[in-house]
Structure 1
Amino acid sequence: MSSTTTIKVRLSVMMFLQFFIWGAFFVPMGGYLSELFKGRQGLNTIIGQSYATHNWAGLIAPLFVGLVADRFFNAERVNGVLHLVGAVLLYHCSTVAEPGTLFWSLLAYFLCYMPTLALVNTITFQHVESSERDFPRIRLWGTIGWIVGCLVIAESFFGLLPFPILPGIDHAGATSFPMKLAAAVSLIYGVYSFTLPPCPPGGKGTPVSIGKLLGLDALKLFKDPAFAAFAFCSFLICIPLAFYYASAFDYIGKVAFGEKAGGVMALGQVSEIVFMALVPFFFRRLGVKWMLLTGMLAWTLRYSLFGEMLSVPSMLVLGIMLHGICYDFFFVTGQLYTDRKAPAEIRASAQGLIGLLTYGAGMLAGNYILGWWGDHIALDPSTSEGWRVGAKAFWLMPAGIALIVAVIFAVSFRDHSADSKNPKNP
């Protein structure tokens, strides 16, 4: 095996471990919290605030990476330290039984984890020959890691076959075990990170600009009405997105699939892989506007299925498998659009700004709104009956938001200059 191939294998293992950790505990966390705080007043708010910790951390992560990792220390070493500390913090989270303490503990953990999402990309880009050819293949192992994490916790192969990796643990997703497992893997991964190829700080000695780190120098793009409409709708569509990450696992488990829920949820990532490969095909034929609009409308359809078809498991599975369209058609297309609209000197800042608006501000708002809405309609997510009574009202809320955003986008976005089928573009 050549040294180049060996490095790619090592980086693929890095990606697998990185996303195994996240998928193993983040997907079932809503179900665990609904059991842990069952009967507590404001249960939905507790769940929403707990999930919001990763968004708060996501807002801070670019500053950490830009101020510390890019300027003072090797990226692989920073990655190792953050995962070792994160292992301790995540294990601590698994022992906490008070909402306030859990919020701060999860926030502390995600302040360690979220910067590593950028670090693994930095490490990969520095050690591949062709970023366009090699990075997608390596990053694919991250999605596989997420899927395997879900299957291990569910002890089910996509809800179809038994996958008894955890003998003696029943319904592991509703317990603190996923956090403990992810903490153990984080410990192993932290040590492994120190064996990765060296990645010296690329920004050493360069002046610090908080505005550039947050992507604020890309605000000039807002002078273009089409880009402004795209950015505004990107923020808004992430409000309903938060409902899926925080509540879908618990919902489908309670109303249809029980302890197999994690395995069924993993079908969403399988769909993501398939549609990721199809993005170039559709991008050339549909163009930017229809790709983005299709992604938004897919969110409306998914939540409508969740709200109206809770007694039809196959429709719930369809809703989950729409993830490839929901995610790839909107977010991947949005990244391509941003890359084509932004001048070369601010492309990184533009991507950072969109990330700040979506996974930062948009999902942060969404997690607080879902908590408020769940408590407003008196949803009891800790029982099957509670979900059956409240599912329609709960899920049609984000479906409505997604539909309104799609209408706003359809009316306000007029830009064909970045379509790949436009002859002016490569």
Structure 2
Amino acid sequence: MSVKSRLGAMMFLEYAIWGSWAPVLSAYLQNNLGFTGAQLGVIFSLLPLATIVSPFLGGQFADRWFPTQKVIAALSLVGGIILILIANITAFGPMMWLMLLYCLVYAPTLALTNSIAMVNLRSSEKEFGAIRVWGTIGWIAAGWALTGWRFAARSPEGIAMKGDVLILAGVFSLVMGALSFFLPHTPPQKEGTRPWAFLEALKMFKDKNFLVFAVISFVVATELQFYYVLTSPFLTSDVIGVSQRSIGAVMTIAQFAEIFVMAFMLSWALKTFGMRRTLTLGILAWPIRYIIFVIGQPSWLVIGSLALHGFCYVFFFTAAYIYVDSIAPKDIRHSAQGLIATIILGFGNFVGSLFCGWIQDLFTTTATTAAGEAVRTINWRGAFLVPTVLTLVCLVVFVAFFREKREAAPQAAV
């Protein structure tokens, strides 16, 4: 297998793991286990919380101490075992603690898979999109695998078995662990003059443009959680009417759009518009999608608007990783990716998870039926109006203060 083929397989499995549970776990927890909006927010805040710490540690291991591919392999194997254990738990407390343990193991791999790909490509700006697109394909494959499994099971609850989303993720993680031993050998960098690479990465904040970019990345990432946490319950609500069985497949509309944008538009946009304008277009796509969610009708338009996620994610977040790689010193590239992962997947998603759970509860009313049953009603229009306004503010601030400053960073050839 060629280097690019192995890196593509790595991305496929890395995002198949995440894609197995992230888009649909909230519907399972809320509809099948009865978790509240606040409890959903806590569960979904655990991966971001872990990402605040873990990528720096993972980057330090890979930059200074161990081959990157072996770090990824060990973390993936342990993570797969933990996920299968979590699948058998239905109580909030035990699930929360085990999920935190899993997230501490998985979080470093998000940055390390980006950096190992970029280190082993001649030009990350030209070639990374073609590698990263396999992650999106893996996310889609996981969604369709889950949907097929659930339809084959014909369960009246709409799920194949207890914790099916977590079991699927665990299997993908174990396969990822085995494959990672065959990734390109990527030893730690020896030319770094200082032992603590992550401390050197923090010095990137001295650049005003990077600081503006980091702040906007944080705020946009908080609004990403409104998509990951609330979209699945929104689509399966009476407002839109998507069935529990088919929600996994419906959510992959966003990833099909990601494939198109990443494979055919990202490299073109970066060459044609430059990094600043590409990032601006990415931010613009966010309020457009949330405005459609606020309107809420017709249902086909709401479902179709999931395709905007291709521009939301690729033109902003994927481009962001390329931007960081282009300005980071060579000997701290793993830690630089860990830094941006901490900002986006860590602080941003952590705050966003708690924030969107709180917003859902804020716009939820409870009424008692004649039979004495409590019925919850969510004002989805009010809930999605919040990220609409915040992403519009981000767009204005980014255009006003961010200026692209190209710095030629040496690229490693393999």
TM-score scaled by length of structure 1: 0.81
How far apart, CA to CA, are the structure 2 residues paired with 1:63 and 1:229?
21
- Conserved 8 A contact 1:253-1:260: no
**Whole-Å Cα distance in 2 between the matches of residues 192 and 119 of structure 1?**
15
Counterpart of 2:314? 328
Select the structure with the greater relative contact order (CA < 8 A; seq sep ≥ 6).
2
CA distance 1:298–1:83, change in 2 (3 Å): same
Letter in structure 1 aligned against 2:103? F
Equivalence for 1:422: none
Q: Distance in 2 between matches of 1:268 and 1:35?
A: 23
CA gap 1:343/1:72 in 2 versus in 1, 3 angstroms: closer
Letter in 2 for 1:17: L
What residue identity is the alignment partner of 1:242? Answer: Q
Deviation, structure 1 residue 247: 1.7
Q: Does the 8 Å contact 1:221/1:342 carry over to 2?
A: no
Matched, 1:306 2:306: no
Question: Which string of whole-angstrom CA distances, capped at 9 and with x for unpartnered residues, describes residues 351-375 of structure 1?
Answer: 5443322222112111111121112
Structure 1 counterpart of 2:370: none
Partner of 1:247: 230
1:161 aligns to what?
none
Tell me which residue corresponds to 2:372. Answer: none
| RMSD (CA atoms) | 3.2
After superposition, where does 1:191-206 map in structure 2 within 5 Å?
Answer: 191-203=178-190
Query: For the Cα contact (< 8 Å) 2:282–2:315, is it kept in 1?
Result: yes
Cα distance in 1 between the residues matched to 2:6 and 2:116: 11
C-alpha distance 252-237 of structure 1, shift in aligned 2 (>3 A): same
Q: Deviations over 1:228-276 (max 9, x none)?
A: 3333222212221111111212221333321222212111112112222
| Contact kept in structure 1, 2:140 and 2:252, CA below 8 Å | yes
Cα distance in 2 for residues equivalent to 1:375 and 1:390: 10
| Residue 158 (structure 1) aligns with | none
Opposite residue 185 of structure 1, the aligned amino acid is F
**Paired letter, 1:180:** I
**Counterparts in 2 of 1:240 and 1:66: CA distance versus 1, 3 Å:** closer
Q: 1:175 to 1:395 in 2, by over 3 A?
A: farther
| Aligned counterparts of 2:325 and 2:188: Cα–Cα separation in 1 | 24
1:15 Cα deviation after fit: 2.4
Match of 1:401 among 390, 399, 407: 390
Name the structure 1 match of 2:39.
46
Q: 2:282, 2:314 within 8 Å by CA — same for their partners in 1?
A: yes
Residues 405 and 132 of structure 1: CA distance in aligned 2, closer, same or farther (over 3 Å): closer
Cα pair 1:32 1:173 within 8 Å, conserved: no
Report deviation, 1:414. Answer: 5.5
Check the 8 A contact 2:198/2:332 in 1, yes or no. Answer: no
* Residue in 2 that maps onto 1:187: 174
CA spacing shift, 1:70–1:369, aligned 2, 3 Å = same
Equivalent residue for 1:282, pick from 265, 269, 282 = 269
Name the residue aligned to 2:138: 145
Q: Structure 2: state its 5+ residue gaps.
A: 367-374, 408-414
| Distance of aligned partners of 1:14 and 1:406 in 2 relative to their CA distance in 1, 3 Å threshold | closer
**Which of 304, 308, 317 is the matching residue for 2:303?**
317
Q: Is the 8 A contact 1:217 1:346 kept in 2?
A: no
CA distance in 2, matches of 1:261, 1:298: 23
- Tell me, yes or no, if the aligned pair for 2:16 and 2:142 is still in contact at 8 Å: yes
- Paired position in structure 2 for 1:413: 401
Instruction: Mark the CA change 1:352 to 1:70 in structure 2 (over 3 Å): closer, same or farther.
Output: closer
1:262 partnered with 2:248: yes
**CA deviation after TM superposition for structure 1 residue 293, in Å:** 3.3
- Secondary structure at the aligned position of 1:322 is classed as helix
Residues 1:297 and 1:63: Cα distance change in structure 2 (over 3 Å)? closer
Structure 1's unaligned 5+ residue stretches are 156-163, 420-426
For 1:183 and 1:93, locate their aligned partners in 2 and report how far apart those are by CA, in whole Å.
9
Structure-1 residue corresponding to 2:15: 19
- Aligned residue for 2:220? 237
Q: TM-score, normalised by structure 2?
A: 0.83
Instruction: Say if 1:31 and 1:173, in contact at 8 Å, map to a contact too.
Output: no
Instruction: State how far apart, in whole Å, the 2-side matches of 1:349 and 1:251 are.
Output: 37
Cα distance, 1:28–1:221 mapped onto 2, change above 3 Å: same
% identical aligned pairs: 32
Is 1:391–2:380 an aligned residue pair? yes
Q: 1:203 to 1:22 in 2, by over 3 A?
A: farther
Which of 48, 54, 58 does residue 61 from structure 1 map onto?
54
Tell whether the 8 Å contact from 1:14 to 1:189 is kept in structure 2 after alignment: yes
CA drift of 1:74 comes to: 3.2
Given the alignment of the two structures, is residue 89 of structure 1 paired with residue 82 of structure 2, yes or no? yes
How many angstroms apart in 2 are the aligned matches of 1:193 and 1:248? 32
Give the letter for the 2:153 counterpart: G
Matches within 5 A, 1:125-144: 125=118, 135-144=128-137
Shift of 1:133: 5.7
Alpha-carbon distance in 2 for matches of 1:339, 1:128: 12
Query: Are the structure 2 counterparts of residues 372 and 151 from structure 1 closer, same or farther at C-alpha, using a change threshold of 3 Å?
Result: same
